[in-house]
Amino acid sequence: MATTRTETTPVSCPTAAGGGTVASTVPVGAVHAEGSPLDWGASLVEGKVVLDETVAPNAPWSAVVRTGHVLTIVDVGGNQSADCLLYNADDPEERYSVPDTLAWQGNAYVRTGTVLRSSEGRPLMTVVANEVDRQDTIGGACGKESNTLRYGHHVMFQHGCRENFLAEALRRGLGVRDIVSNLNWFMNVPVEADGALGIVDGMSAPGRRVAVRAETDALVMVSNCPQMNNPCNDFNPTPLRMIVVEPAPVADDSRSAHAARTAKEGA
Ligand SMILES: [Zn+2]
């Protein structure tokens, strides 16, 4: 459903003398293929909905997900990178750590079962369901400085995920020192046989979802990636839907089964 969108958008600029216009390559509002219905999806885990919000294209978002609650992120329009940072809500000095997460599991990709660990090595959240083959946590976040370096000075006024993170961090009493390496839900960053990384066409699709369970009260910050200079968003930024549920008691079966299995293996 994604369309390639490279034309510039005229934006009214009230500060310009005579009320002129400036050209911006950043899309304004939702952009979708004409006539295509959006699949707003539903929670991947059954339970009582405690939060249900949409994130506009290009915008930041954050919420505290309580211990045991499950956040489902819906890639509403398909191939939309949701850059994500996690913090211990009670002590944000403890935050998501890429090396702890990857070294602990011995694999470069984030998939169902991946425990998202903190800078202290403790579990912050666990991926409990995932509808794309693999999720990325190596590719990093875009920003106006890196965009300018990679794509040229004509993109220096486009905001990136780093600017989204900083804006949202400010609302939470955090700042530039708290922005660390991140997760990229729905972004395709293959690790090639020779170890090279690529940021290539996405493998997600409209309505695909990922669900993460909070293992402690977790502050989740997301940037709905505004990148328009590489294919990570299909050149078509689309909305995200964020649904938090308090799982029904039956959802704890997987935990009980895991506990039983662990006890058996330990015996
Ligand atoms: Zn980005």
d(CA 198, CA 204): 16
Which residues neighbour ligand 1 (ion) by CB within 5 Å?
142, 161, 225, 227
Q: State the pLDDT at residue 255.
A: 60
Question: Residue 236 C-alpha to ligand 1 middle, in angstroms?
Answer: 12
pLDDT of 4 strictly over 50: no
pLDDT of 96 strictly over 60: yes
Question: Residue 247 C-alpha to ligand 1 middle, in angstroms?
Answer: 31
d(CA 71, CA 140): 21
Question: Residue 187 C-alpha to ligand 1 middle, in angstroms?
Answer: 10
Q: Exposed e or buried b for every residue in 208-224, given b needs 16+ CB within 10 A?
A: bbbbbbbbbbbbbbbbb
Question: Domain ranges in the chain?
Answer: 30-251
pLDDT digits (tens, 9 = 90+) for 156-181: 888 999 999 999 999 999 999 999 99
Residue 36 DSSP code: P
Residue at token pair 């939470």: 172
Mean pLDDT of 93-117: 97
Question: Residue 163 C-alpha to ligand 1 middle, in angstroms?
Answer: 9
Question: Residue 162 C-alpha to ligand 1 middle, in angstroms?
Answer: 7
pLDDT digits (tens, 9 = 90+) for 6-38: 333 443 434 434 445 555 444 444 555 566 667
